[in-house]
Structure 1
Amino acid sequence: MAVDLLNIARTGVQAAQSQLAVTSNNITNANTEGYHRQVASQSSLDAQSFGGNFYGTGTYVNDVKRIYNDYAVKELRIGQTAVSAAQTRYTKASELDQLYSSAGQATVQGLNDLYASLNSLADSPDDLGLRTNVLSQAEQLASSMSQMHTSLDGQMQQTNDEIVAITERVNAISSEIANINNELMKSTGDNAQLLDAQDNLIKELSEYAQVNVVELDTGAKSVMLGGSVMLVSGEVAMSLSTTLGDPFPGDINILATNDNKGSGDGSRINVDIASLGGTLGALADFRDDVLTPAALELDKMALGISDAFNSLQTQGIDLSGALGQNLFTDINASTMAFGRVGALSDNTGTASLSVNIHDASALTGTEYKLVFTSSASYALTDTNTGETSSLTLNGNTLEGANGFSLDIDSGVLASNDTFMLRPTAGAASGFDVVMSSPAAIASGRPKVTPDEGNSGNTTLTLSSIDDTNAIGFPVTGSELTFSIDLSANTFEVFDVDGVSLGAAASYTPPSISAYGFSFDIDSSATGTERFTFDLSQSAGDNTNLVQMAALSELRLMNGGQDTLTDVYENTKLAIGSETKTAEVGVTAADAVYAQAYDRVQSTSGVNLDEEAANLMRYQQAYSASAKIMTVATEIFDTLYNSLR
């Protein structure tokens, strides 16, 4: 029995030593992120029969288990995805909110300063110093608008850069998981260290996107992103890549390749980034639903300012007596119109389209989708409201949209060709002051008086003052009255005394040029209409300046709902609301994540008090087994000595 005691003692020492090793490893990794507590399972060796009885032969450690709760870990990954998305959403919204609340206010202040300078000039319309100040304030407004556009463009670039960087990191993680899977497939048992590393990588992956994990019998795991993109299949890692947006290059897209990295023969599919969840989904949501609309609203504000001031300028007379010219860049100039139309890459037609804005105040949407299905069907959908309307082709122009039309500049449309439209895009970057002379500010207004007997269905627009020195040019005291026969396309002119200045002359609608000026006619009448013109520049005439200053209170934008300043303030309020909502979302997501984390820790985490108690327990077991060896040795020695 002495030999049996030694064997029993040896197995006890070895088992206690294994238990001490596992416990010590738990203690030393208590603060290791992602470490799962391990437990050594101990069993008895088979008993042996002796003298009609069965005697135990010792113990052994039959397994070292990694304590792992699959359900709790899944909940933790879901919580990680949610909290990463919420934190990203809040961080990005906060940055934009700070921009609109601080630096962006210079844009509103610049517009208010322009209004104030126009009010001052209205008191002394001929003062060149005050006129110079108006131009200076206009230039300051343009500079503020440009700086704001640059800041928003910088945020767009930063957001896209983050998407690219995360995509690269996701690819690196997929390679690492595939390598670990390969090692696990080759190993004969569960390698706790590899499994912990695998779980840590998947948990990190769940920060960037929602993950679905399929466990294999070998311990390897296949991973999908967002429920649709296979990222890792066993030991094979797939690849993601980023590409320029379609149709707008600034909207970075992600492509998934369904083959092993480096093989180059797999198909590539577009990934809906927003559907991935996590940081990637939050970045895409912020870019597409917050940042891009905010930039387009700033563009709309720039268009509104340019359209409103330029329209009033062209209705007034400057110090030289000429018809006023644009103060700001024309709303359809190439620098203001860049990026308004994008054709999808899979269009089969060759048509090239451009957007022409006719009335900035009528613009209500930020982005539209145009689909051509037949020669009589041009469906225009507001992507914000989902409302769809039909456009009408008139020559090469598609008409019927709010505030703008589409020109088919070249090529032909094919069935199902699709275009994305951003009518306001690029306006803030192209917004600038084009007037150079303070004297060119149109302070006064020409007087065009319709006859009381007119139908009321005819309007005249003064298009140019060509020669103020022309014989008969209408000035105060020498006004001219035009009698226009709309059915015969002829006109006759009378002086201030009602005397005809010549026989009726023909004209080509809609324009008439005579006596040093030109005007356009827009009428639905068929009879004769009469208008009296006084185009003199009166000293101190501030009529047009008063109209410009009054723009501060006019609801010109969004179909007559908002002032020019309201466009900015409404965007600022929307961003502030988004930031507050995102802040609440972070609190909620943190609470859910904390619960999931505690659940995992309660199962798989290391409890130092429990491990310290185990350490003492296994130390005593080790000492006791060693004592058995001592006793067995002494018995053997006694027996041996008695037989000598």
Structure 2
Amino acid sequence: MAIINNALSGALAAQVALTTSSHNIANLQTKGYTRQAALLTAVGPDANPRSPGNGVQVSSLLRFSDNYKSQAMWRAAADLGAYSQTQPYLSQLENVMGDETASLSAGIDQFFGALNAVAGDPGSTPLRQQVLTSAGLMAERFNGLNNVFNAQLQSVRNQRSAIVDSANAQIATIARLNQQISQAQAGGLSSSSLIDARDQAIDELASKMALEVSDNGDGTRDISLKTGQSLVLGGMHGSLKAAPTATSPQEFSLSFAGTTYVLDAVKLGGQLGGLAKYEAEKLVPLQTGIADIARQMADKVNTQLGLGRKPDGSVGSPLFVYTPGSNADMLKVVDGFVANDLAFSADGTPGDTGNLQKLLGIKSESITVTSIGPVLLSDADAQLVGKLGVDSQLNKAALKTTQTVRTQSVDDWQSTSGVNQDEEAVNLVEYQNMYQANMKVIAIANQLFDATLAMMG
């Protein structure tokens, strides 16, 4: 009977091992699946001194997982999320601001070109009208670009709100899976599929914000922001919120266990941190810089026109209206302004262009632009576009690096936790041979048993 019991235990163990390999192969293409294996342990002998042992048993199912590799994969996901969310916005601004047919530099050049053209015949109504036309077209370029900035601001904020909603769903999922894993392990049940689902949720959450993950003895995992605030503690979880306040167009907060924490979105990392950093350090300063150019140029032109004389000898009037923070027309030509309102004369003498020459000199005057400092008016837009190009190239380089790191970290995780088709094929053959060998032992044991009965009969 000992022979049969040993062989039976071997056959049953081989069945469990075959079932485990078949499960691995079935999940060959399942994202986030961690391969398993049956851990076989010899069953020791009983009190009989001539007993070699009592076969084999499956003591547990091994789950091939390396916490260090998982952590590296999640950190790479956060870095990739930050740079990948920023690049489309940078590329859009590069295309818009770098387009010669729509660039501010071209508009400014055309405006001062029209002023220069009228210098040869300051009394020409068509040439004066061309100045007004080019002034209006230049203003439209400022307004169009400002509309692009406003659209990006709205898009960034809407996107962050959507990311927060998705993150809250994943945070709640992780907490729920923590409870299920703890209960399964307490009951001696396999929790591998639950752990896979939880790790997948953590990976998705990590792309949205940088995380710190720690393991507990009951199988649960605690999740916190890299700034220290807890998102998940065992089965408890917090909730993120992004909403406008009196002091911020979109303030981030975290509510956990009845306490609310205000978060610095720039420090969150991941997609949320990347978008917040882009808004605070790139988009808003760039929009402010363009507004600086529009405001200071309008002030200089209006001031100089006010020092000149119109053809009828009256004092000049402002050409531009600048409206700060406008979602519509940031810069426009004064309503009702006509060609003869242009005060090109310095003293009212017909044909005098003294004030016109000073207007032309404005292009070479210095203005102060946010993020780049003092710069000539003629160079301001080009320098902003150049800085934008540098920022975009740096982000592209960082994005390429983080994509490589993420790919390598996923491959590294896959080398440990992923299913290897060739390895599982070998396992199937080995466990099949093990099963057949044990069944052969059972058959031999039956023959011996029958022979023994025949001898005794």
* Same fold per superposition (TM over 0.5): yes
Q: Provide the rounded CA distance (Å) in 2 between the counterparts of 1:256 and 1:301.
A: 39
The aligned counterpart of 1:279 is 271
Rounded Cα–Cα distance in structure 1 between residues aligned with 2:98 and 2:255? 42
- Which of 120, 145, 157 lines up with 1:148 in the alignment? 145
In structure 2, relative to structure 1, the CA distance for the partners of 1:561 and 1:223 (3 Å cut) is closer
Instruction: Give the equivalent residue in structure 2 for 1:430.
Output: 330
SS at match of 1:123: coil
Decide whether aligned partners of structure 1 residues 128 and 271 sit closer, same or farther in structure 2, where only a CA change above 3 A counts. same
Q: Deviations for 1:57-114, whole angstroms, at most 9, x for unmatched residues?
A: 2211110011111122112212222222232333432232222212784322121111
User: Contact (CA 8 Å) 2:80, 2:403: kept in 1 or not?
Assistant: yes
Q: Is residue 621 from structure 1 mapped to residue 434 from structure 2 by the alignment?
A: yes
The answer to whether the aligner puts 1:603 opposite 2:416 as a matched pair is yes
Name the SS for the 2:84 alignment partner: helix
- Structure 2 counterpart of 1:525: none
Instruction: Give the match for residue 360 of structure 2.
Output: 549
1:135 offset after TM fit, Å? 1.0
1:439 partner letter: N
Higher helix share: 2
What are the within-5 Å matches in structure 2 for residues 477-556 of structure 1? 537-556=348-367
Q: Which moved more, 1:121-130 or 1:139-148?
A: 121-130
Kindly indicate whether residue 398 of structure 2 is the aligned counterpart of residue 585 of structure 1: yes
Residue 643 (structure 1) shift = 4.2
Q: Which has the higher contact order (CA 8 A, sep 6+)?
A: 2
Q: Distance in 2 between matches of 1:567 and 1:246?
A: 33
Change (3 A) 1:619 1:216: same
Q: How big is the shift at 1:582?
A: 1.2
Unaligned runs of 5+ in 1: 260-265, 339-425, 447-536
Separation (CA, whole Å) in 2 of partners of 1:436 and 1:557? 28
With 572-581 and 601-610 compared, the bigger mean Cα shift is at 601-610
**Deviation string for 1:365-420 (max 9, x for gaps)?**
xxxxxxxxxxxxxxxxxxxxxxxxxxxxxxxxxxxxxxxxxxxxxxxxxxxxxxxx
Structure 2 residues without counterparts, runs of 5 or longer: none
Asked if structure 2 preserves the Cα contact closer than 8 Å seen for 1:300 and 1:427, the reply is no
- The within-5 A match list for 1:191-202 is 191-202=191-202
Kindly state the Cα deviation for residue 442 of structure 1 after the two structures are TM-superposed: 0.8
Structure 2 match to 1:226: 226
- Aligned residue for 1:79, secondary structure, equals helix
Q: 1:421-468 CA deviation, whole Å, 9 max, x = no partner? A: xxxxx499421100521111112112xxxxxxxxxxxxxxxxxxxxxx
SS of corresponding position for 1:30: coil
The answer to which structure has the higher strand fraction is 1
Which letter maps to 1:196? D
Contact 1:104–1:148 at 8 Å: present in 2 too? no
- Secondary structure, counterpart of 1:599 in structure 2: helix
CA drift of 1:9 comes to 2.1
Match of 2:27 in 1: 29
**What letter is aligned with 1:304?**
Q
How far apart are residue 618 of structure 1 and its match? 0.5
Within 1, Cα distance between the matches of 2:329 and 2:379? 20
User: Following TM superposition, by how much is the alpha carbon of 1:17 offset from its aligned partner in structure 2, in angstroms?
Assistant: 0.7
Task: Give the residue type in structure 2 aligned to 1:433.
Answer: V
Counterpart residue type for residue 409 of structure 2:
A
Q: For each residue in 1:590-621, what CA deviation from the matched residue of structure 2 results, as whole angstroms up to 9, or x when unmatched?
A: 33333433332222222222221111100111
Quickly say closer, same or farther: Cα 1:560–1:217, change in 2 above 3 A.
Answer: closer
Q: Does 1:573 align with 2:386?
A: yes
CA pair 565-155 structure 1, distance change in 2 beyond 3 A: farther
- Superposition pairs for residues 54-203 of structure 1, below 5 Å? 54-102=51-99, 105-187=102-184, 188-189=187-188, 190-203=190-203
Q: TM-score of the superposition, structure 1-length normalised? A: 0.67
Equivalenced residues, count:
451
Kindly name which structure, 1 or 2, has the bigger radius of gyration based on alpha carbons: 1
Aligned partner of residue 222 in structure 2, secondary structure: strand
Cα pair 2:83 2:399 within 8 Å, conserved: yes
Given that 2:97 and 2:104 are in contact with CA atoms closer than 8 Å, whether structure 1 keeps it comes out as no
Give yes or no for contact 1:337–1:427 (8 Å, CA) kept in 2.
no
Deviations 1:289-318, CA, capped at 9 Å, x for gaps: 000000000100110221111011101111
> What SS does the aligned partner of 1:562 have?
strand
Aligned match of 2:281: 289
Retained in 1: the 8 A contact 2:150–2:327?
A: no
Asked if structure 2 preserves the Cα contact closer than 8 Å seen for 1:443 and 1:542, the reply is: yes
Distance 1:35 1:442, change over 3 A: same
* Inter-partner Cα distance in structure 1 for 2:174 and 2:116: 69
- One-letter amino acid of the counterpart of residue 24, structure 2: N
Query: CA RMSD of the aligned region, Å?
Result: 2.1
Q: How many Å separate the matches in 1 of 2:157 and 2:394?
A: 23
